A and B are shown apart, each in its own frame.
Chain A
């Protein structure tokens, strides 16, 4: 017989719901805070936090009445948000106990993400948890669940290749540039074309603090406008040879119909540069750069298809790591289960102590007038000592049977039932 894990969740995600439904169900930070407050005040739960991203909205609770309360909260969420998704079992999943723990560990380590192994989700989970924690709406169980989750994430990142290799086209260009130049801070980027594609690619290089980003475009005014934003220089297309001499990385994304760069331009430039490496990224369709230039010494050319194939390979590699990551997840579920077992003893003992203390104080008060006032201190000590001895017997019994899970759980349940607050 396994220990009862008082954790549960329900939610929708990219696995179960379309983007339209996910948009409707998503909660802003203010919305999350209001919902957490309401759930904590109105339902029989000990802790709660809500994870809401573009790919999922999930409500995590800890409660002794997990199943009942989850159903009630689902109804409330639909009513409060004027939705009908959380009560729809086809869209909303609900998990309890070890299944809920496993789900949380999978989410926090990126195993449940749309792009497997993406790291952004860890930060989003942390933010959600901290929002609730600051509102004092998380209990020991959820605090511990989060801590275990962070450990799972760390081990999965460190011991597997689940998050290795880039999976975005524009970032694949940056990664390749780093494999050529190592440090990009002293490198100059030349954008050919002033459209959205070039701008997006430039943004990733700007994030890596390249020294300068220049822009070359058919229309000089557009080049000047973008160059001003990027704090670089503007060139016209007939000045390409000059612009190429200083550049280390070239991103070309024009809408032209023929090759802009070929051997006639690149060969003399490469010679003038003394074959210093030049990384060319051709994001245009049809292509801007003639593939023959890749044969020139020091020239490294990649087009859109090449970048896509890098991503495909990386995604495949990540998929192969899932079994390894799942071994880690299962290992931590077991550790969490063991913690819950120890935590259950301490909770029961605490409850027992409180229960007996209330009886002791109540009885002491009842007989105070009949007792000799000069001996009150001794009587107080005596009653405390009796209670401590009784408690010690209970603790001893629980600890003695910890090796026998079935008997241990039976005794734990018995004590829990005997000393429930409503039994007073």
Chain B
């Protein structure tokens, strides 16, 4: 079973890339016939990824999301899942190329951290850990999506403002839709990440008796969450326009990515307390 799980893990980034290529063909206006088949491709990819997650944890006898590989891969998985719902409900594929690029990027990162030895940390054996981790990762997903929508907003704003009405303009969704999706995703991200962070702290308090554990990942996540909350409150008070809000979201995402990179660079384990 371990071998099958390994094959699936290494195949996943390739499959993400293949689906991304299909979206590129649609986006570039080279193939319109593929438009009606995208949901099927997304569903197949999602099913394949679900199978990979299940097999990996059955073969390693670990609980889900206990390693850096799991976290990055689940981030890609949840982005894919949320995007599929958005596409099915709005019947718009314009954002697919951008959002799936992000999902592919995360899946690719995850493949660099593939570890076939199960994590042994005390905290990770607790079954409520999965709830904390999935809430936090779903929060990260929402914040990542917000940044992608914000980026698309900036591109579309430039297109309309500078009368660049080419293929990019045609394929991207309307400006106000992008703005509202970006803001909504930020709010959802702040709430979910907030719950995830709080659950993590409560768990740490219960298991190691320390509400603020000395863990780089915890510190960075707390800082990122506070920055997002502060940024959002300031933007509301100052009545920032769509463009400023979009830059805020993109900047927040950059901090998020740098934070994630720092965690992985400095810690040998996904949750290693100093």
Contact = CB atoms under 8 A, between A and B. Distances in A.
Interface in A253-279: 274-277
Nearest to A310: B165
Interface stretch (A63-71, A124-132, A157-165, A347-355): A157-165
Given A158-B32, A181-B176, 5 more contacts: A158-B36, A176-B160, A298-B242, A309-B163, A310-B165
Contact of B160 (A161, A179, A274): A179
B239 interface: yes
Given A165-B170, A297-B243, A277 B36 contact: no
A297 B241 contact: yes
Interface residues of B, number: 21
Contacts of B29: 161
What's the dominant secondary structure at chain B's contact region?
A: helix
Contacts, number: 50
A93 interface: no
A248 to B, nearest CB: 10
Contact of A302 (B156, B163, B242): B163
16 contacts: A158-B33, A158-B36, A161-B32, A165-B170, A178-B174, A179-B174, A180-B160, A181-B174, A182-B175, A182-B176, A182-B177, A274-B241, A276-B241, A277-B175, A297-B243, A313-B166
Contacts of B163: 302, 306, 309
Nearest to A273: B241
A369 to B, nearest CB: 70
Interface of B: 29, 32-33, 36, 156, 160-161, 163, 165-166, 169-170, 173-177, 239, 241-243
Nearest to B163: A306
A416 interface: no
A92 interface: no
B174 A182 contact: yes
Nearest to B167: A317
Contacts of A275: 241
A277 B32 contact: no
B3 to A, nearest CB: 42
A300 B161 contact: yes
A362 B242 CA distance: 88
A176 B170 CA distance: 10
A160 B170 contact: no
Given A159-B33, A160-B32, A180 B243 contact: no
A10 to B, nearest CB: 35
A197 interface: no
A182 B173 contact: yes
Which 3 A-B pairs give the minimum distances between C-beta atoms? A182-B174, A275-B241, A182-B177
Interface centre among A164, A182, A183, A300 (most CB of B within 10 A): A182
A294 B36 CA distance: 38
A276 B173 CA distance: 18
Nearest to B159: A179
Contacts of A180: 160, 174-176
Nearest to A305: B163
Contacts of B242: 277, 298
Contacts of A183: 176
A306 B176 CA distance: 22
A181 B165 CA distance: 16
A210 to B, nearest CB: 14
A306 B162 CA distance: 11
Interface in A177-200: 178-183
A247 B215 CA distance: 53
Contacts of B170: 164-165
Contacts of B36: 158
B195 to A, nearest CB: 31
Contact of B176 (A274, A277, A294): A277
A309 B166 CA distance: 11
B93 to A, nearest CB: 14
Interface string A331-356: 00000000000000000000000000
Nearest to B175: A180
A300 B160 contact: yes
Nearest to A177: B174
